[in-house]
Amino acid sequence: MKKLFIIFIFSSLVVKVFAQPERGFQIWNKNEIVVRPWEKISIEVAEKIHYSPEHDAADIKYLESYVSHKPLNWFKYGAGFRVSKLNTYSEWIQENRPMIFADFLKTYKQFSFKYSNRFEYRMFEFDNDHFRYRQEFLVEFPSLTNWGMRFYTSEESFFKLDSNGLHLARFYGGLSVVQKEHFKLKMFYALEKLELIQNWRTTDIAGINLSFIL
């Protein structure tokens, strides 16, 4: 585990050093607790930070909570709420975001597939509230070990439900280092494309996700 962490940090530094000057770089960390009071009901609480080494500060930090129901092996749906703080480097701006989602799941020959759909309403302190749709397609490859180590890849796209349309996309490649009944650890690299005033900004992202299932 220690060796994997050192490799991850080294890889992150390499990405930062060799990234093009116009590209950004961030380090993400997400910590999540999942409680299952009933067999098909889950309650999730998570906090996440997007850290910018360039500014030596967090660009975004948020706290969110979800309640989900999985009535079938191939279908899960739910609702959640997120409170975010966005750093403009002159002040922090708060965003409140109610969300509803539906996931479609499939397992085929040790491959796992998930297609996610989420509708959200983003409410800011200034006048820029809008509806947004987010979709994600995730593929998890067969396990390499008995503790659940497996590679995965995914893409996610965000669409403002007005004339702007697609404005944000991310492409992920990662490793589920541990995937046990009560604990999960994931490390990943992501390439982000964000539209800013008719130009697309590119950001390299290195991230770690921790999940504790109670």
Strand pairing class (150-160; 75-87): unpaired
The rounded distance, in Å, linking the Cα atoms of 14 and 7 is 10
What backbone torsions phi and psi does residue 29 show, to the nearest 5 degrees?
A: -140, 125
Q: What pTM was estimated for this model as a whole?
A: 0.86
CATH numbers and ranges of domains, the chain: 22-213 (2.40.160)
Q: What is the pLDDT along the chain (214 residues), one digit of tens a residue?
A: 544 444 454 455 444 444 455 789 999 999 999 999 999 999 999 999 999 999 999 999 999 999 999 999 999 999 999 999 999 998 999 999 999 999 999 999 999 999 999 999 999 987 789 999 999 999 999 999 988 899 999 999 999 998 778 999 999 999 999 988 899 999 999 999 999 877 899 999 999 999 999 9
What backbone torsions phi and psi does residue 20 show, to the nearest 5 degrees?
A: -65, 150
The rounded distance, in Å, linking the Cα atoms of 115 and 123 is 26
